[in-house]
């Protein structure tokens, strides 16, 4: 079933009776060439690119809950490519290019909106660092514009520019950055993978990993044992727990990140805006809600809900940046479990156990990575070589100390990234 304007018109005129399920609800087979554990954005995009680019279709995605019920359906939907360090910068640049063709590629409306992201700066030192980041982005071939206060005031007049503690000195704009509808991204990839023959198996929790003579043989699940030649762990906040089933201890901590949405308002915020002093970011959804978030809850946890000190911290940051937000009522808040790596950068690599691959360490930035990550992991699984845009995401950097990508400059501390 293809989506098109004509199709919407036809269905609208004939009682919407011709729509079909977006993917097959598959029954597990005894054996697959590749099993992907985790039906989030990264697992589903990996399955899609395995089928599409490499012709590998004897693949199952095993999801313990429902597709898109994890972080991929819980994030604040910001998509950007404004990374500074080699390793990260080329990867996110590649991912943004995939985003730009994604809706056509998937024939699915993921509501990708390149409305522009503005990162604000509040001191001379911050301006220098941000100008350097902008130059690095331009050198790589991406877009970046340094904005003066006068330019900002024309674009986003509702910010508190002269706030005594954190006055706004300017901003860095990436026009190609923006947002996408998070769960539609999961559904679009699921549909694309299923159409190409991938089995998507929901309510199927992996409870054990079978390894014989240093080689992966398959998994134990709540729906029985399934054999596999290759296995990828793509479970975000559960990475350490699932890798432990293979006897591995990953350098990953799981932390809670919360997000908030207000009641629907008339259009008032055109861009994504990031506060340079308080780790606060905000955009307005197509339904009108202001969607925003802030820092981690700062303690390790597997609970997909947060605590009040961060609620207070985020609200304070919002009020500091744009006092008008105080007039809106918060409708909901929720949390997700973040897979925090020590340097704040991801891992896409072999595990060291034959046939077992890892994809984790996305911290709170993995939504924008969904297309690039799936492309890179599919390439690694299919060819046993790293994708050219993801050569630095190696696991052994945490053992050797070589090649760390500490984007935030905070040192190897999970809770500061
Ligand atoms: C509040 C919040 C805001 C965020 N904002 C942004 C943002 O603005 N921009 C951005 O780029 N990123 C953002 N992120 C980060 C981004 O959402 C994540 O990095 C990304 O979604 C993680 O990858 P995933 O989609 O594959 O994870 P998930 O969707 O969590 O997928 C992992 C899946 O694995 C499944 N699983 C776990 N264990 C097992 C098992 N044993 N067996 C089978 N299945 C299992 C889980 O049920 C889950 O569905 C945010 C995250 C949160 C929580």
Q: Is-contact 170 139, C-beta < 8 A?
A: no
Query: Closest ligand 1 atom to the C-alpha of 334?
Result: 1
pLDDT, tens only, 275-324:
988 789 999 999 999 999 999 998 899 998 889 999 999 999 999 999 99
**DSSP single-letter state for residue 140:** H
Looking at ligand 1, which residue's alpha carbon is closest to its atom 50?
A: 75
Nearest-CA residue for ligand 1 atom 48 is: 70
Distance 363 CA to ligand 1 centre (A): 9
CB 412 within 8 A of CB 342: yes
Closest residue CA from atom 2 of ligand 1? 75
Virtual CA dihedral for 262, 268, 274, 277, nearest 10 degrees?
-80
Q: Quote the ligand 1 centre to 189 CA distance (angstroms).
A: 15
State whether the Cα torsion 375-376-378-382 is positive or negative: positive
CA of 258, closest atom in ligand 1: 1
Report whether residue 206 contacts ligand 1, using a CB cutoff of 6 Å.
yes
Tell me the CA–centroid distance for residue 12 and ligand 1, in Å: 34
Q: Please say whether the beta carbons of 359 and 387 come within 8 A.
A: no
Instruction: Give 8-44 pLDDT, tens digit per residue.
Output: 999 999 999 999 999 999 999 999 999 999 999 999 9
Q: What is the pTM of this model?
A: 0.97
DSSP, collapsed to helix, strand or coil, labels residue 258 as strand
In Å, what is the CA distance from 61 to each residue of 39, 124, 379? 6, 49, 17
The structure tokens 């997700």 sit at 336
Which residue owns the Cα nearest ligand 1 atom 53? 336
Show the tokens assigned to 135.
């130059």
How close is the Cα of 183 to the center of ligand 1, in Å? Answer: 11
Whether ligand 1 lies within 6 angstroms of the CB of 205 is answered as: yes
Element containing residue 275 per DSSP (H, E): strand 272-275
Question: Which spans in 339-405 are helix H?
Answer: 370-383, 397-400
pLDDT score of 127: 97
DSSP helix/strand/coil, 22? coil
Task: Give the pLDDT of the chain (417 residues) as one tens digit per residue.
Answer: 899 999 999 999 999 999 999 999 999 999 999 999 999 999 999 999 999 999 999 999 999 999 999 999 999 999 999 999 999 999 999 999 999 999 999 999 999 999 999 999 999 999 999 999 999 999 999 999 999 999 999 999 999 999 888 999 999 999 999 999 999 999 999 999 999 999 999 999 999 999 999 999 999 999 999 999 999 999 999 999 999 999 999 999 999 999 999 999 999 999 999 998 878 999 999 999 999 999 999 889 999 888 999 999 999 999 999 999 999 999 999 999 999 999 999 999 999 999 999 999 999 999 999 999 999 999 999 999 999 999 999 999 999 999 999 988 877 777 676
**What's the rounded Cα separation, in Å, for the pair 335 and 330?**
15
Ligand 1 centroid – CA 70 distance (Å): 5
**C-alpha span between 26 and 193 (Å, rounded):** 12
* Alpha-carbon separation of residue 125 from 122, 130, 364 (angstroms): 8, 9, 25
Task: Tally Cβ neighbours within 10 Å of residue 330.
Answer: 17
Please name which of 215, 4, 254, 222 lies closest in space to residue 108, comparing C-alpha atoms: 4
Tokens for 226, please give them: 């399934």
Distance 39 CA to ligand 1 centre (A): 9
* Dist. CA 101–CA 375, nearest whole Å: 14
Q: State whether the beta carbon of 251 lies less than 6 angstroms from ligand 1.
A: no
298: left (phi over 0), alpha (psi -120 to 50) or beta: left
Pocket probe mutation, ligand 1, options 77, 178, 364, 378, max atoms within 8 Å of Cβ: 364
Q: How far is the CA of 161 from the centre of ligand 1 (A)?
A: 35
Contacts of 371 (CB under 8 A, 6+ apart): 45, 95, 98, 99, 102
Cα 338 to ligand 1 centroid, rounded to whole Å: 7
Nearest residue to 59 via CA among 408, 385, 377, 405? 377
Asked if residue 60 has its Cβ within 6 Å of ligand 1, the reply is no
Q: 357 has which bridge partners?
A: 232, 350
> To which residue do tokens 């077992």 refer?
356
Pocket test for ligand 1, best of 231, 367, 374, 417 (most atoms within 8 A of CB): 367
For residue 225, the surrounding DSSP H or E stretch is: strand 224-233
Rounded to the nearest whole angstrom, what is the distance from the C-alpha of residue 40 to the centroid of ligand 1? 6
Whether 306 lines ligand 1, by a CB cut-off of 6 Å, is no
Paired sense of beta strands 78-79 and 31-37, if any: unpaired
Helix (H) or strand (E) holding 46: helix 41-54
């Amino acid at each position: 079933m293809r989506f098109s304007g004509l199709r919407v018109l036809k269905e609208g005129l004939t009682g919407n009776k011709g729509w079909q399920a977006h993917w097959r609800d598959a029954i597990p087979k005894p054996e697959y060439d590749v099993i992907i554990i985790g039906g989030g954005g990264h697992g589903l995009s990996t399955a899609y690119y395995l089928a599409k680019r490499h012709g590998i279709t004897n693949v199952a995605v095993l999801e313990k809950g429902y597709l898109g019920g994890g972080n991929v359906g819980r994030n604040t939907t910001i998509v950007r490519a404004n990374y500074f360090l080699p390793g990260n910068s080329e990867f996110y640049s590649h991912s943004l290019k995939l985003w730009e063709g994604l809706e056509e590629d998937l024939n699915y409306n993921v509501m990708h909106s390149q409305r522009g992201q503005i990162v604000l700066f509040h001191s001379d030192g911050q301006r220098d660092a941000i100008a350097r980041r902008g130059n690095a982005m331009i050198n790589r071939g991406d877009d970046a514009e340094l904005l003066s206060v006068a330019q900002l005031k024309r674009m986003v007049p509702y910010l508190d520019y002269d706030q005594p503690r954190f006055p706004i000195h300017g901003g860095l704009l990436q026009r190609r950055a923006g947002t996408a509808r998070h769960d539609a991204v999961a559904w679009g990839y699921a549909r694309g993978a299923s159409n190409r023959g991938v089995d998507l198996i929901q309510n199927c929790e992996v409870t054990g990993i079978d390894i014989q003579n240093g080689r992966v043989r398959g998994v134990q699940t709540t729906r029985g044992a399934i054999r596999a030649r290759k296995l990828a762990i793509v479970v975000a906040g559960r990475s350490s727990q699932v890798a432990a089933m293979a006897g591995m201890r990953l350098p990953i901590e799981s932390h809670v990140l919360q997000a908030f949405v207000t009641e629907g308002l008339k259009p008032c915020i055109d861009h994504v805006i990031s506060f340079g002093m308080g780790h606060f970011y905000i955009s307005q959804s197509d339904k009108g809600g202001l969607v925003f978030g802030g820092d981690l809850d700062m303690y390790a946890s597997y609970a997909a809900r947060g605590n009040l000190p961060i609620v207070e911290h985020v609200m304070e940051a919002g009020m500091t940046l744009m006092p008008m937000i105080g007039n809106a009522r918060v409708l909901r808040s929720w949390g997700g479990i973040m897979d925090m790596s020590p340097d704040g950068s991801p891992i896409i690599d072999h595990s060291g156990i034959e046939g077992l691959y890892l994809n984790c360490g996305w911290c709170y930035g993995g939504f924008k990575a969904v297309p690039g990550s799936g492309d890179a992991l599919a390439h690694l699984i299919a060819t046993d070589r790293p994708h050219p845009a993801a050569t630095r995401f190696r696991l052994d950097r945490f053992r050797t100390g070589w090649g760390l990508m500490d984007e935030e400059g905070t040192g190897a501390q999970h809770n500061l990234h």
